Amino acid sequence: MANVGIVIVSHSPKVAEGAAEMVRQMVGDEVPLAWTGGNSGGGLGTSFDAITEAIDRAWSDAGVAILVDLGGAETNSEMAIESLPAARRRRVVVCNAPIVEGAVIAATEASGGSDLETVRRVAEELSP
Amino acid sequence: MSSARTVDSRLEDKAIALDETRRRRLVSAIACSVIERADELTALDAAIGDGDHGANMKRGFEAVLQDLDALAAMSLPDLLKGVGMKLVTKVGGASGPLYGTLFLALGKELSDAPSRATAASGFGGAIAAVKARGKSDVGQKTMLDVLQPAFEAFAAGGDAARVREATLLAADGTIPMRATRGRASFLGERSVGHMDPGARSASLIICAVCDEFGGG
């Protein structure tokens, strides 16, 4: 069975790419991984379309866990999830966890074959 | 939140006429009002946020203006949904999905020729959708602190001038508030003394609508 995919959504493309690099160092190619950062104007921010595409790139039948940094990243990610086809919508979650640590620990959990709920729970244990 | 839809029973049932010319003027007035005040929105956001609200909203409503002909030709629900999707995809930041949700929900709530009563009820429903999207409520120094009082003034039977007045008063009312939601909440007490940029942009949009209907 495929491993849960990880999507990293930061306001900054550099933060998103850097976090993805740290995930790759930990799990190699064992989990589908995509990152996105920046708004449609090229500035700091997040983009609904870019998040939708990132979910698609990291798609796994086991589901996708999204790690976000600040408010707009979360709101845009939730909007993107709700706009997915119904069959996919239920298999994507936003983790309430710090973006870098959350992405690394979620990916590590996913690489062991854990299901989406477990991946999310392990990442969220990082939050107080 | 059942009270969000409470509408004065004396509101007229007469349909509000919105032909293509009127729809076009309305969308254009909203977009231009936000675009013209982009620098002001950015200055407000720079004080208690990340300083991109003006540029973000400007980008979104410029995209709306680019499609003005096509949008004005649509039925009111499709027009509102079209504006909503433009804002979702172009604005970025939290305000993109929040304003996007406001317009998308209005598009779902309103018929092509709403009465005053159904318009008020639909506006209330759309505000509930924004609250759900932002996991927020009134009193947190956000756009909701303008949307809700504007709805209440409209639902109580207020005319355009009355709704406009309530809207501007509500935006001013965010100045002494302490932010507990959004980027400004990171500042805690330091968010006090500044108008919330989302409250200001919401007031620009509602005042543009009021001016359009107040002008007859």
Contacts of B42 in chain A (CB under 8 A): none
Share of chain B above pLDDT 70, in %: 96
pLDDT tens track for B20-34: 999 999 999 999 999
Predicted TM-score of the model (pTM): 0.92
- In this structure, what DSSP letter does residue B184 have? G
B15 — pLDDT class (breaks 50, 70, 90) = confident
Q: Which of A51, A60, A57, A56 is nearest to A80 (CA)?
A: A51
Residue B2's pLDDT is 41
**In contact, A81 and A89? CB cutoff 8 Å:** yes
pLDDT > 50? residue B1: no
Would an 8 Å CB–CB cutoff place A111 in contact with chain B? Answer: no
Fold classification of A5-124 is: Rossmann fold (3.40.50)
Would an 8 Å CB–CB cutoff place A53 in contact with chain B? Answer: no
The residue with tokens 């909440």 is B185
Share of chain B above pLDDT 90, in %: 88
Q: Which domains does chain B have, with CATH numbers?
A: 18-214 (1.25.40.340)
- Cα gap A116→A109, rounded to integer Å: 10
Q: What is the ipTM of this complex?
A: 0.86
Over residues B89-97, the mean pLDDT reads: 92
For chain A, the C-alpha Rg in angstroms (whole number) is 13
pLDDT tens track for B109-163: 999 999 999 999 999 999 999 999 999 999 999 999 999 999 999 999 999 999 9
B8 — pLDDT class (breaks 50, 70, 90) = confident
Best of A10, A40, A77 to disrupt the B interface (most B CBs within 10 Å) is: A40
**In contact, B118 and B111? CB cutoff 8 Å:** yes
**Chain-wide mean pLDDT for chain B?**
94
User: Beta strand A64-68 with A33-37: parallel, antiparallel or unpaired?
Assistant: unpaired
Is A13 a residue of the active site?
no
The amino acid that residue A12 corresponds to is S
Token pair, residue A115, equals 């299901």
**φ and ψ at residue B83, rounded to 5 degrees:** -60, -45
- In this structure, what DSSP letter does residue B186 have? G
**In contact, B110 and B69? CB cutoff 8 Å:** no
Domain boundaries, chain A: 5-124
- Cα gap A22→A108, rounded to integer Å: 11
